[in-house]
Structure 1
Amino acid sequence: MTGPDVSPDAASARPRPVERFKPTSGQALGWFGLAFAALALVYVVWTVHTTTGVRIALGAVFFGTLIWVTQVRPRATAYPRHVVLKNAVRDHHVPLAAVDEVTIGQTLSLWVGDERYSCIGIGNSIRGDMKERRRRAVDEADVGRSRFSELRAKAERANLDERAMSYQTFVVTRLEELVETAKRELRELGHQPGTPRHTTAWPEVALLAVSGLAFVVSLFL
């Protein structure tokens, strides 16, 4: 039986995701980098049996792991009661019912009180930020204009809004829906939302540390 302060998801060993949010940038570059590192590793292991080959192999492992944690691994996954924000090596597990606000800038952010929990894999591009600034500029310039100017400004703003519809907007909207659903269900059950927790991607941390140290040592051989 689940206590009032325990997330309902904790009672299940493998809760099923209700939404997987794909990363918005770095995927193509990340997979290309991983493929290049893998090819380099296979090549030197197969053909270059020298100290230089060892250095290249260790460097390929280190930089391949670095590409994985910075470009491919970061993403967000929503479950019935919580959302997991994966970052390079530190992940946030945030109860949906505890979220006060969902925002997106350079990164996706979930606010619980004054605390912010971010995912570096999802965010607006520089171009998206420029569109947002243009939209705000149109709104500000709308004040004090003639009726004709106001209509023209509204048409321009509508055009900007239409072009600004993006995957990032969907992520925020979907998360807000899940937050509202989770809050309503917990109110009906009389449970507390729980508190966010953190986990560390220890396999990635260990691989980075070991391969990086081994690569540096190999330079002195």
Structure 2
Amino acid sequence: MTGPDEYVEVFKPTSGRFLGVVGLLVCAGVVAIGLLDRDSGIGVTSIALAVLVGVLVHGSMLKPVVRATDDELEMVNLFETVRLPLAGVETVAVRQVLAVLVGDKRYVSPAVGRTFRQALRKPRSTRELAMTPVPGEGLVAEEGMNYADFVEDRLRELAAQARSRHRVKLGSSEQAALAAQVVRRPALVQIGLTVLAGAVVVLSLLLG
């Protein structure tokens, strides 16, 4: 299991944090009142629904993160964590979500994205980039640079470095073979809570 010291880059989420915290606090408040105050009028269905919404809010707004070691890209999402070999990354694009292509499969993360308006802008190949190379640190974002642009370029740089270390050419059969090293680990706690809370809501509605 990868430790915090092994990550060479951790990309901060670009949106949804404030709303996620507010939503989670509201859901927690509903559950607390429902459990502690029997006269509140908040029944089992409402408590289960608050748990379900809270789990989904946490998983979609607060949990997602993208981070990289020297050789792997880790994407923590709502219901799973995906680990990708950086040398196997063929393309990287940040639209409304981050999308990475490895082999024939596209892996996405909502942790980094652009607003709808930003996603409609002309392709980056025709935009001026503001990247500064720093010896020993790679690329860093200059003041005023769009963070999504920085993430795109930094991930491409990390992928290129990994390919160079492992002597893997872009588009080669060796790179395609690295798709077999992709690991997808389900978020069992998140999945379990979602299924359980959803089942309680459905049963309560059917029996009520």
- TM-score normalised to the size of structure 1? 0.73
Displacement of 1:197 after TM fit? 2.2
Shift of 1:129: 2.1
One-letter code aligned to 1:185: R
Query: Deviations for 1:168-190, whole angstroms, at most 9, x for unmatched residues?
Result: 011111111211221222239xx
More helix as a share of residues:
1
C-alpha change, 1:210 and 1:49, in structure 2 (3 Å) is farther
Q: For 1:10-38, what per-residue CA distance to the aligned partner results, in whole angstroms no more than 9, with x for missing partners?
A: xx664721111122222211111001101
Q: Is the partner of 2:43 in helix, strand or coil? A: helix
- Tell me, yes or no, if the aligned pair for 1:30 and 1:71 is still in contact at 8 Å: yes
Does structure 2 retain, via aligned residues, the 8 Å contact 1:69–1:89? yes
Query: Hey, what does 2:72 align to over in structure 1?
Result: 82
Q: CA deviation at 1:206?
A: 0.6
1:175 is aligned to 2:175: no
Report the CA distance between 1:97 and its aligned residue. Answer: 0.9
Query: Deviation at 1:165?
Result: 2.7
On the 8 A contact 2:87/2:160 being kept in 1, the answer is: yes
2:38 is the counterpart of 1:48: yes
Greater radius of gyration (CA): 1
Partner of 1:166: 146
Partner of 1:217: 203
* 1:139-173 deviation digits (Å, cap 9, x = unpaired): 7xxxxxxxxxxxxxxxxx76xxx998311011111
For 1:197, the aligned partner's letter is: V
Q: Distance in 2 between matches of 1:53 and 1:87?
A: 31
Pick which of 176-185 and 59-68 moved more. 176-185
Structure 1 residues 106 and 120: alpha-carbon distance in aligned structure 2, compared to 1, 3 A threshold: same
2:164 pairs, out of 184, 192, 205, with 184
Task: Give yes or no for the alignment of 1:130 onto 2:120.
Answer: yes
- The root-mean-square deviation of aligned C-alpha atoms, in Å, is 3.1
Native 8 Å contact 1:131 1:164 kept in 2 = no
Percent identity for Structure 1 against Structure 2: 30
Size of the aligned set, in residue pairs, is 187
Say if 1:71 and 1:90 are closer, same or farther in 2 by CA, change over 3 A.
Answer: same
**Do the aligned residues in 2 keep the contact of 1:103 with 1:110 (CA within 8 Å)?**
yes
Answering whether residue 188 of structure 2 is matched by residue 198 of structure 1, we say no
Residue in structure 2 matched with residue 121 of structure 1 by the alignment: 111
- Code of the residue aligned with 1:199 in structure 2: it is R
1:63-91 CA-to-partner distances (Å, cap 9, x unmatched) read 10111122222221111210111222133
Task: Kindly provide the amino acid, as one letter, of the partner of residue 76 in structure 1.
Answer: V
Equivalent in the alignment of 1:103: 93
Deviation at 1:121, TM superposition (A): 2.3
2:194 is aligned with what amino acid?
L
Q: TM-score, normalised by structure 2?
A: 0.77
Shift of 1:114: 3.2
Q: Partner of 2:10: helix, strand, or coil?
A: strand
1:36 and 2:26 are equivalent in the alignment: yes
2:17 counterpart of 1:23? no
**AA matched with 2:14:** T
Q: Which has the higher strand share?
A: 2
